[in-house]
Structure 1
Amino acid sequence: MSMHTITNVILLPLLFFLRFGTTLQSDPLSIRAEKAALFTLRSSLGLRTKEWPIKSDPCSTWVGIQCENGSVIGINISGFKRTTIGNQNPAFAVDSLVGFTNLVSFNASRFLLIGSIPDWLGVRVKTLKFLDLRFCGISGGIPGSIGNLTGLIELYLSGNVLTGGIPDSLGMLLSLSVLDLSRNVLTGLIPLSFGNLVNLHCLNLSSNGLSSNVPAQIGKLDSLVVLDLSFNAFSGLLPKELGSLRSLRRIVIRDNNFSGELPDAIWSLPGLSFLDVSDNNFVGSLPNKSLNGNVTKSVFNLSHNMFYGVLTCVLRRVSFIDLSYNYFQGNIPDYVHDAAFLDGNCFRNWPSQRGLKECAAFYSMKGLLFDTFGLTDGSLSSVLHDHKSKRRVLVFAAVFGSLGLILFLVISVILLILFRYKNRKTTQAGNDEGPLTTERESVNLMGLGELFTYEKIVSATNDFNDANFIKNGHSGDIFKGVLEGGTHIIVKRVDVHSGKIISALELDLYSKISHPRLIPLLGHCLENEKEKFLIYKYMPKGDLSSSLYTKNCSDDDTLKSLDWITRLKIAIGAAEGLSYLHHECSPPVVHRDIEASSILLDDKYEVRLGSLSEACTHEGDNYSNRITRLLRSPQTSEQSASGVITGMCSYDVYCFGKVLLELVTGRIGISASRDLITKDILEGILPYISLEDKDLMTNIMDPSLVVDEDLLEEVWAMAVIAKSCLDPKPSKRPLMRFILKALENLSKVVREDSTSSEKLPVKSSKSSWGGSSSSSCNSLPYQTAGSQLPGNVDGCLSTR
């Protein structure tokens, strides 16, 4: 790298930091319109007098304001705290930015801006060169109008809940040096227009849901120094054009679905100092040729792929290399030092290696020579013959097993059809006031509240007027209504002919229990042949998903958030309801639909669990329950994001962990997310939850929460509990009764001075509130749990 390039990369950002990152003395603000715009911004964001005092000149004394020639050129509110009133309205209220005609920099990182980026930002504030909106709680898509900010040099949008695709218009930002869109929920492809960003130094798209191939156009970015595409769903071959990026120093593409060989040119990049391609499907061998002169300081992570062959002189030059869980073979050279991880390969005389048969089979499949470990040709042939014989046995077993399974399923389906036919006849023979035959059993309706007439339901909901419609539930449409006496109710309408049913277990639950944490069932209306109705008590505060942030009565464009005490109250209430279902019902009941929308709130924010139509009895490990799993329909055999059967109590614990994260981070939608989106969200949050370091919490905590040191400790403790609930192994998740006790005694979860007798119980002696991954709580997305990779952990660092 030339001295001129080093000066641009290191000294210029430093100068800019000194210019915009601190408050410097400058000329007084002389433009009246800009002064008015600053005061409007102060009011709309609820900023404190401490930072922006009213009776002083903004250019001289306001923190984060930089002026030049009497005009505002920089605004930095990163890390600011709102006033008490402003904290109730954490909206994206920055309309007054249009009043600054010379604004170059706007930094609002870690300042809550609930809502989406306004389209006008790219149309009316065209002077911007630096825009930093990291960890602001922004939702919605990236507006295409951002492409109009043609002078933009740095754009940071990471750590939000941005959805949709990346707009092609970003390829118009020809001056862009840094583009950080990491830790969002973006999907789709990398736009081909990115090939136009020839001045780009850092591209970070990690921890999203992006997919398909990486376009070859990325190879046109001659100035690129950092490329991070990790934790996405990219596939196919890595474009060989990356090898032409002579400035590239850091490549992180771990945890994708890449295949094929690494392009040879990548190994020879002159400035390459960090390469992480772990957890993909790469194949090939290490290069034999000498690498660049800087490689002695390099860090390579090739683990969890399918690389093979012998070790080469590459290991003489690097400072750290992780080759674990590949298929390397042969001897370990004498020059291999402690900074090399080699587990899970096919080496001689090295611990924790793959079995001989597995290694021989892999090399045989590839048509390659395999180091025989001293075996004779006959012995090795025996090994391979044994492997091939086992494959034939497995093929035959699979064929006959499949035929047997098909026969078993055919018989089961016939029996199931006969069973349902018999149940339908029983239903038709009954009457509306007698037992109700549902999907699996008959339930006595005695004690299930009032018997409502169809006319009464129609009148209460104004003939199911759209104005009374709330949402589409799993088992039916939900409406609100008012009875003649003024009592507010909730009506679930189930269309029988649509295939939806009234859950037998839900009605059975209400016929046997009456717990204060379950939404009260007021009655039913079953007289209509086409539609059935269940009537519940009305919850004035709605559900948690709609109450975490609510519109301010005085301003429709702003929001207020729940305070910490109320959030903790809601968490404890939900835990009480689940603990009752799991530990006081016999057999235990699994809710199966725990998320923010099923946690209902009365006028005092007391919790009532709703959405019980998905509930089922807990599935143990006995034989009959395994047969039941085979027979049930796909709709009832759903798995969680971690692969857990939802009929287990541990699934409720997993879902509850996501609810706790939603309360801690303020990120709406975590508990309702599924599959890949859940994985991406958790990978962006969980590394910041550690029993050893409370300060990491500030990276993910809801910025709208106003808490002192003691309450911050409670937020930290709840996050630790949430992480233990989200353990990938169901057996290591705590039981709900222990979670409830922990929430009621948050200080004992994280304080080191708690004695052993005071510590909260967990499911097994090997578990802890830190979870099984506590040793890697501080691991970042680039690192593996087993090997902490050195190097800069932030892919794109702000220069301000």
Structure 2
Amino acid sequence: MTILPLPYLHLLFLLPFDVISQPTTNQNDQTTLLNVKRFWSNPPSLNHWNQSSNPCNWPEITCNATTITGITIYNQDITGNFPPFICDLKNLTHLDLNYNYITGSFPTSLYNCANLNYLDLSQNYFVGRLPDDISRLSPDLRYLNLYGNNFTGDIPVNISRLSKLSTLKLHMTHFNGSFPEEIGNLKDLEVLKLSFNAFTPSKLPESFFQLKKLRVFIMTEANLIGEIPSNLSNMESLELLDLSVNNITGSIPSDLFLLKNLTQVYLYQNNLTGGIPDSVEALKMQIIDLSQNKLTGKIPDGFSNLMSLTNLTLSMNQLSGEVPAGIGRLPRLEDLRIFANNLSGELPPDFGRYSDLKIFDIAENNFSGKLPESLCYQGVLKGLEVFDNNLSGEIPKSLGNCSMLKSFQVYRNQFSGVIPDGLWKGSRLERVVISGNLFSGELPPELGPILSRIDISNNRFSGQIPTGVSSWTSLRVFMASYNLLNGEIPQDLTALSNLTNLLLDGNQFSGELPATIVSWSSLNTLNLSRNQFTGRIPVGLGFLDALTALDLSINNISGEIPSQLGRSLVLLDLSDNNLTGLIPSRLDNGAFITSFLNNPGLCSDDPLLGLRYCSPRAETRSSGKVSAKIVTIIASIATILLLLAVLMTAYVIVHYRRRKYDLKWKFTSFQKLNFTESTILPRLTENNVIGQGGSGKVYRIPVNISSEFVAVKKISSKKDLDHRLEKEFLSEVEILSTIRHSNIVKLLGCISCDNSKLLVYEYLENRSLDCWLHRKRAPSSRGLNGSVRHMVLDWPKRLHIALGAAHGLCYMHHDCVPAVIHRDVKSSNVLLDSEFNAKIADFGLARILAKENELNTMSTVAGSFGYMAPEYAQTTRVNEKIDVYSFGVILLELTTGKEASHGNEHSSLAEWAWQQALDGAPMLDALDSEVNEAVYTNDMTNVFKLGLWCTSKLPTNRPSMQEVCQMLLRCSVTAAVMAAGAGKNGGDVADHFPLLKVENV
């Protein structure tokens, strides 16, 4: 290279920039690019493409000498079809249009790009089948990426004739046919991704395992069956193998770990059996995930030689024996998850000493002995999950200095001694669950700043609740049942405004309960039973709107029950005390039949409670004659007002009819009704509007003097009713007039004229689910200090709503003939009656399927952001699985409290939830903190996971609504049992946050 002498360098600045840095292009190529811009309707992202500038200076264009060789337009919101003349760029070798909105079928015009070697059309909206003659693409093509489109059918056999391919990415493309074994003929192939496609059940072709240059092979969730071929060793270049989430059977091939270049293996969620191969030569191995299979035998000693291993996940198998000592000395091990096996023996003592150990999850095994002292030796341990074992001894003092620790769960073991002081104060500690051990000592006066959950139940903690308890400001759940705690309940404990669950039953507390409840605005479960409390029940407990479960049984509490108690209580136990007087009227009913036992001084007017009968209530006796006079006066006033109302109504009707004399209304009823259109029409005023939908307003209309109401949806237009709204109206009438189900809103009738349509429904008092979940007009109450508090749906109500809505959709999908797809399932279309029974509403977008399970082609895409299934947003071919997806979003709303649009401008709640799971974040962190009751944690987690399943990207991977109903019913039964007093938070898969993988696409 010639270097200019320094005195001449300044001459470079006198030359035009293009001359020294960029080639120029010919006029024909520039014209072609400008035509491409016009073809795409001049997108703003390409404004700099103009006649006066050199295309070689455009950032999307690559040039060589005087010709254009490459186009890269990534994530520029390009819409429309593929430009059929793009191959007029005769020297084009590189074309990348990924992450746009390009539609249409696969562009066969690309066959004219004779020099193309790189083609990326991924993450667009291409549809249809790949053409059988796809081999007509350039013979020089080395990179082909079509992932994230909507291609269906088979992968054509002729794709194997593109003999120079080194990368083939066809994952997440909705293929539902076969994939050709001839792909094994692509001898230069290095990357093969076919994952997340609903292929017909297929075995892995042996030909694939002849690809000696293949480095990355991913077929996650691809409907694979049968065994893995035994000739794995032929794939001598293989670095990453991912066959997870399939139905692969048989044993792991003995030569899997003989692949010397192998770094990552994912075989989780299959049906693999037998032992893990002993021979290990894959010394570059970094990640091994064989979880959720049926593997037996021991963990191979050879794993101790994998010096590059960072993640080892063998959880949820049937492995036995001890953990090889050498695994504890692996220098790069960060994540060990071997929970839910039959492993035993003592743990290797060197875990954490030689590596940056971050996750240590050995729960649900039979390990014995002590915890390794060096677990947090490097100071980076985040999760310690060792519950449900037979471990003993004291907690290592070194854990008191573990500043990164987030989760410390050692429950149901035989640990003893005191918890290191520093552990309680960890700056990142979020949960401490140590119940079911032999721990002793006193409660700490100070906690970490974000510690939200403490469960020390069934231990030997003693002493009083510390005076500094008011500093525990982040605490949400405090469970200390069955210890040796004593003294009085300090007033400061009631200052914890985030506290939702407080369980102090089975201790030795005494004295009176705090008379003033300061800030328990979030408290929904309070259990102080089996102590020695005296005094009266604080009146303040009756003003806690969130409180749904209260247990003060087996104490020495006396006095009367405050009349304010019971505002929102579902569970109440005041038995075995010294209470006296009347049962408050709101509690004096059969729903609380066991709530007052063994209180001889109590009386009731309800014989179901089994208490002595009370004399007439004092307020009734003292107001006899006065009440009669007041009633007479009120009755007279009411009669006059009623007469005036009737006269006014008659006047309005007559006036309305005269003004609207030219309209001919037709009233069609679907059952016997006690009103007509003349009752409805005059009351369609703004004062009665309760909602606004996409097609019109919704009114709350009184229909008789008994304060009965109906809901009326008005669909109207300034002109004659437009075609779309007319179709919606007819669709809703056609469907709802034939459907009869307790979880589907009743259509009572319809009223129509030339330019308006009215649908008359039953009125549901509690409006829609989204009002309650997202504080949109949800009922509220005023607290003692005058502040307005929004009422929160507790978990039993949420589960009841979920089950009801699921029953409604299940009826539509499986019991209606023909089946019905709703197409717009969302929380605002789940209505609630006075008992919070859910009813599916708004069928304006619903369609009837001609045949069961047959795809139905929609002319337009409709629905709401956040609820639309991926395939529905991208194509018009749908089945009932789009409703399952939308219902899954509702389950995520119910469990997280977040809106369906939660996320950034490019994501939704479902995407956020999946990302949480795939990142390995604790699922409990995703749950709604307002209803995260300890006794329901498992159920909430399971429903959250059900929501994830329902929102799987592939429709075939989603459950049916029948399966959803069965699982929700199981959760509902469990919740009822837990609510009855079991109160134990057992182990669950959600406690482990198992390692999930995000594919690097």
Question: Shorter chain as normaliser: what TM range?
Answer: 0.3 to 0.5
Q: TM-score, normalised by structure 2?
A: 0.37
* Rg (Cα) greater in structure: 2
Q: Point out which structure has higher relative CO (alpha carbons under 8 A, 6+ apart).
A: 1
More helix as a share of residues: 1
